[in-house]
Amino acid sequence: MRFAKGHGTGNDFVILPDYDGELELSAELVARICDRHFGIGADGVLRVVRTAAVPAAAAESAGAAGPAEAAVSAGVAVSAGVAVSAGDAAQAAEWFMDYRNADGSMAEMCGNGVRVFAKFLIDQGMAAGPELPVATRSGTRTVRVAADGQFTVDMGGAAVLSAGEVRAGDQLLAGLAISVGNPHLACMISQPVTAVDLTAPSVLAPAELTGGANVEVVRIVGDHEIEMRVHERGSGLTLSCGTGAVAAAVAAAVSAGEWQREEGLPWTVHVPGGTLSVSPSARASLLAGPAEIVASGELAGSFLAGLSPAALASSS
């Protein structure tokens, strides 16, 4: 089984080319691949597959647990306030990003991952830039590559859902529940983001997100400049999170009284793994940052022992 390894501001992924949709990925195998001591090590897996090979993929449930995620679970993405069937929208995209968290669970969207996904396809000659639509479980996302190698993703409209609350270590933090195609609770704080224990945050409210959400702590450090740390649902503490950066910028825009603008002003978002740029908006949020492919190789046959016979045959 061939693989590649890539990252976007330190948010790293194992990329599995499966163009014709022949590979059967179990949660256990994904978790083994992502294990940093016994596997390759990653925050998640990006399976690269033609949309036509998995016609139901864009409408799969990602295991969402509450009303705030119901639209995503039903294969519906919200953009510009209009519900669009992800299955219908994906028809225009040749490629589907089957993203799995490090624990093997399915995820709706990954802003850093989709940039790495596009970088891989372009490098392999499987797609041409500078613009590439990618089907995801939260709808089609368009990625644009600039001459300087930066990738910009139209993340669709973000939505502020309600006030929320999370316990992080010995701190009780207030935040905003925000949807970026997947669920977030972004907490504006005045202390450095490194002062908050995000090892195992527990979302207390709203009730729709207590089943699991990405949690961000955000501090304004300058004019339209923030720092952010994140605990990703299904992956834990990561060096960066694309959708989390959008949620953080949304929370900062709300704090600055700018959220009602039709087009969001750009925010510089510093994460432990680097720097991203986000223009948050309820209509269309733009995320810009780098994407790197750092290695490629082949998984050993002994490592694949847990695969089903059909998947093993397809990978040989």
What is the full DSSP assignment across 117-181? HHHHHHHTTSS-SSEEEEEETTEEEEEEE-TTS-EEEE----EEEEEEEEEETTEEEEEEEEESS
pLDDT of residue 304: 79
99: closest CA among 68, 135, 64? 135
Q: What is the pTM of this model?
A: 0.86
For 81: left if phi > 0, alpha if psi spans -120 to 50, otherwise beta; the answer is left
pLDDT of residue 161: 96
Whether the CB-CB separation of 167 and 187 falls below 8 Å is answered with: no
The active-site residue, picked from 86, 110, 230, 271, is: 110
pLDDT of residue 14: 98
What is the full DSSP assignment across 191-205? S-GGGS--SS-EEEE
pLDDT of residue 275: 98
Q: Tell me which long-range contacts 120-124 makes (C-beta under 8 A, separation of at least 24).
A: 120/4, 120/6, 120/15, 120/17, 120/46, 120/48, 120/293, 121/48, 121/95, 123/293, 124/17
Whether the CB-CB separation of 271 and 240 falls below 8 Å is answered with: yes
- Domains, the chain, ranges and CATH? 2-156+292-315 (3.10.310.10), 159-288 (3.10.310.10)
Our measurement of the distance from residue 100's CA atom to the centroid of its chain's CA atoms, rounded to an integer in Å, reads: 10
pLDDT of residue 56: 65
Low-confidence ranges of the chain (pLDDT < 70): 55-91, 306-316
The active-site residue, picked from 241, 246, 253, 269, is: 241
110 belongs to the catalytic site: yes
| Beta-carbon count within 10 A of 46 CB | 24
pLDDT of residue 311: 46
Across-strand partners of 8?
11
241 belongs to the catalytic site: yes
For 13-31, the pLDDT digits (tens) are 999 999 999 988 899 999 9
